[in-house]
Amino acid sequence: MPEAGGARTVWNGFLASAPQLRAHAVRQREDTISTFDFALERSKFENGRGFVVVRLADGQHLRWQTLPRGEGLESVNVVGERYRLDTLQDPCFAAGNEIRLEREPANPYDPNAIAVWNAARTLQAGYIPRDEAKRLAKKLDKGQRFRVVTIWETFEDDRRIGIRLLLIGDQANVTGLS
């Protein structure tokens, strides 16, 4: 039975609440849980919904602003959605869905441009902000790959008006996504 108001997530094939995930982490031997093991816990606020990252080693809830990049996770905003609001309503951009990043080195406005597409590459949501794109373009150009998912969606008048992405590097182990 779910706890009253408690968010639940799938972990190792089972439905678990955040307190259960933390309790499991504490029970594990320290050498079996790394700082690179995370779970995503569903969350909802007045103007948005998505996931909060939980570090399993200590049960700490990590805010997207302070995700530890060195641990294989980072969060980036998407810009330009206001020009694609109808496209942004598609369920493929909902929290938890896979997203595709595409470099656009021939972009006339920014040679470091990175476009944000749905997984099928049929709908474009926007772009990675210029300052983040400059840093990420170097990584992508060197062959580094990320698993990318929508971690948060912002709403206004029941319409999705923005999304935030979670970039998951190879060294991070993240549970809670389907």
Enumerate the domain spans of the chain. Answer: 8-172
Cα–Cα distance, 76 to 53 (Å, whole number): 14
Check residue 29 and give its pLDDT.
41
Please state the pTM of the whole predicted model. Answer: 0.79
* Confidence category of residue 63, pLDDT binned at 50, 70, 90: confident
CATH classification for the domain delimited by 8-172, as one of 3.30.70.2330, 3.30.230.10, 3.40.50.720, 3.40.50.1000: 3.30.70.2330
How do residues 101-144 score in pLDDT, each as one tens digit?
999 999 999 999 999 999 999 999 999 999 999 999 999 999 99
Per DSSP, the three-state class of 13 is coil
Q: What is the largest CA-CA distance in the chain?
A: 55
Cα–Cα distance, 38 to 57 (Å, whole number): 8
Q: Which residue has the higher pLDDT, 160 or 177?
A: 160
